[in-house]
Structure 1
């Protein structure tokens, strides 16, 4: 029995932590289908965003996030102090950051690339992806690039108040577009955002293209001190999530407590077999659960 199965069974007996409880499990299967390093460089990543050629991103390109609105929606914001949400996301991000930058990163390929997904829509993956990005960027020595890769139902831009802008799809489709053209700096130091871009009938093919593989490789190897978080489509609702999972070193699987069927969770886990690390977050939980519920270990397939 896998650690996720044990956690699900234990959750039924013990109840659930208020708002969010976490169960962390580490996969041992390595992804062997990795793109080779590329010689052409994408623009240098500095400060709040990317440099385009030799010029910094101008102030007119900075996205002004409405922190008051985000706070009302329950998100982590820079002005929050010791709230329950902050503490919860500190617990969630700790293993991710350790795997990306600490001793745990040894043996994890592309450890600084993190995919946030779920089994089905509505489980809170975008809420988790944005909160993780905000929580990590809130650390003084960390930079985060948040990429909306849920190209069929993008939510990151809408949530953050970003107006229609070229994004990931345009970059993958256009042979002459620089990556800097789709990166938006924000009014939070250390946080940049890439919108999903326009809807495209061949979005799956674009996300599974060699250009996307090369981009993931470049983001990982050229900028190893930056965390890149992808908000992905649900694994059982679209094929893009499974495609993207092969490009990252860590995956966060968001599970809606007391709602998502265990069979769905295990089907999603099977699709994540090539991933180095799989972490699970129980979202929308009710009641209280003691700290003994938090687990971090290996699971077998």
Structure 2
């Protein structure tokens, strides 16, 4: 066997057979076409172009805002320059600051309030028939009410009081009769403003004495549903010299929860409003009998002084003492009016 050269052997050993050659692996991903690549490039180019347009628009807006601010600053500076040029060269120096003038307070016309209330006619004979003896002044006993009026006004003025509660221990003692006579007597007192309220809301009767049918409900006024100047009524011009500065709060509606209403804060506010609007010198409260219910006790915080009406031959001394005890020691007693006491000198009533 012929020996082959060494280089041929090395060549043969390094040769690769067809079976040993690497085989190319075919990919399943399709090659992108030229049209698709072109579309992607165009879309990218459009996005870049839109971005550039938005940025340019933002820059324009910022420049406009800056320009407007600059224009405003220049205009303000120009106005300040003109104001400085118009100002006097030498400033005015005051030796002292001018005194401050307080703002004028609105003036409340009390007289206009009195003139604005509704008025009702007075029938002197009707009042006389209902024992309002101060109307015609034919009964000599009317002088007792004038004395009571004067003494009461003096006591109120000396102590700074205004509000007087008129009550009785039991019913049928004549407390409403006393309140009506006092109101007419007070109306003849010059420069005296009087407010009389029918607060016997369980059995209102003051309107019957004066013959008033359009009474309204005093409970609505106490609750703040109606202003006092729209509820209170005064005397119309009359022939018996009853003055125009008496305002009466009538009541034609029975109030079943009178004590609760008198204790309600709205009652306090309503009474304060009456004092503010009318500036009365005297406020008379015709209250129910003290021993029948708790209305008088409920009214106690709103009262400055007390007037008790007793019936001669009917009211007992213990009833008067019990009335004083229920009202407490902090309410001064102006006096006890003795009603229905027969006297030959002054008529049927003694005070």
User: TM-score over 0.5 for the alignment?
Assistant: yes
Distance in 2 separating the partners of 1:222 and 1:276: 26
Q: Which range is displaced more, 243-252 or 222-231?
A: 222-231
Q: Which range is displaced more, 225-234 or 70-79?
A: 70-79
More strand by share: 1
For 2:201 and 2:214, locate their aligned partners in 1 and report how far apart those are by CA, in whole Å: 13
Closer/same/farther in 2, CA of residues 225 and 145 from structure 1, 3 Å limit: closer
- 1: distance between equivalents of 2:275 and 2:225? 22
In structure 2, the CA distance between the partners of 1:121 and 1:150, relative to structure 1 (3 Å rule), is same
1:236 to 266, 288, 291: 291
Per-residue CA distance 1:50-87 (angstroms, 9 max, x = gap): 46xxxx23xxx311121111123331345436x42221
For the residue of structure 2 that corresponds to 1:216, the secondary structure is: helix
For 1:288 and 1:221, locate their aligned partners in 2 and report how far apart those are by CA, in whole Å: 45
Is contact 1:96–1:250 with CA below 8 Å preserved after alignment?
Answer: no
- Give the structure 2 partner of residue 198 of structure 1: 253
Determine helix, strand or coil for the equivalent of 1:285: coil
Aligned to 2:31: none
Q: Secondary structure at the match of 1:46?
A: helix
Q: What does 1:180-199 align with in structure 2 at a 5 Å threshold? A: 180-187=229-236, 188=242, 189-199=244-254
- Quote the Cα distance in structure 1 between the aligned partners of 2:171 and 2:310: 10
Are positions 1:145 and 2:185 aligned together?
A: no
Quote the Cα distance in structure 1 between the aligned partners of 2:280 and 2:130: 30
TM-aligned CA deviation for residue 238 of structure 1 = 1.8
Q: Map 1:73-222 onto structure 2 (within 5 A).
A: 73-80=130-137, 83-101=139-157, 104-106=158-160, 111-173=161-223, 175-187=224-236, 188=242, 189-220=244-275
Shift of 1:89: 0.6
**RMSD of aligned alpha carbons:** 2.7
Pair 284,160 (structure 1): closer, same or farther in 2 beyond 3 Å? same
> If you compute each CA radius of gyration, which structure gives the higher value, 1 or 2?
2
Residue 214 and residue 279 in structure 1: after superposition, are their counterparts in 2 closer, same or farther (change >3 A)? Answer: farther
Tell me how far apart the structure 2 counterparts of residues 218 and 262 of structure 1 sit (CA, whole Å): 38
Alpha carbons of structure 1 residues 86 and 139: separation in structure 2 relative to 1, 3 Å: same
CA drift at 1:202: 2.0
TM-score (ref. length: structure 2): 0.60
Pair 1:156–1:50, CA change in 2 (3 A): same
| TM-score, length-scaled by structure 1 | 0.69
Contact 2:228–2:273, Cα closer than 8 Å, also in 1: no
Query: For each residue in 1:209-261, what CA deviation from the matched residue of structure 2 results, as whole angstroms up to 9, or x when unmatched?
Result: 11112333444576555211111000011211222233111211001122112
Moved more, 111-120 or 185-194: 185-194
| 8 Å contact kept, 1:143–1:190 | yes
- CA pair 44-182 structure 1, distance change in 2 beyond 3 A: farther
- DSSP 3-state at the match of 1:120: coil
8 Å contact 2:196–2:248 — kept in the other structure?
A: yes
* Secondary structure at the counterpart of residue 340 of structure 2: strand
Q: Would you say the 8 A contact 1:67–1:77 is kept in 2?
A: no
Q: Residues 186 and 222 of structure 1: is their aligned pair in 2 closer, same or farther, counting only changes over 3 Å?
A: closer
- Runs of 5+ consecutive residues of structure 2 not aligned to the other structure: 1-107, 237-241
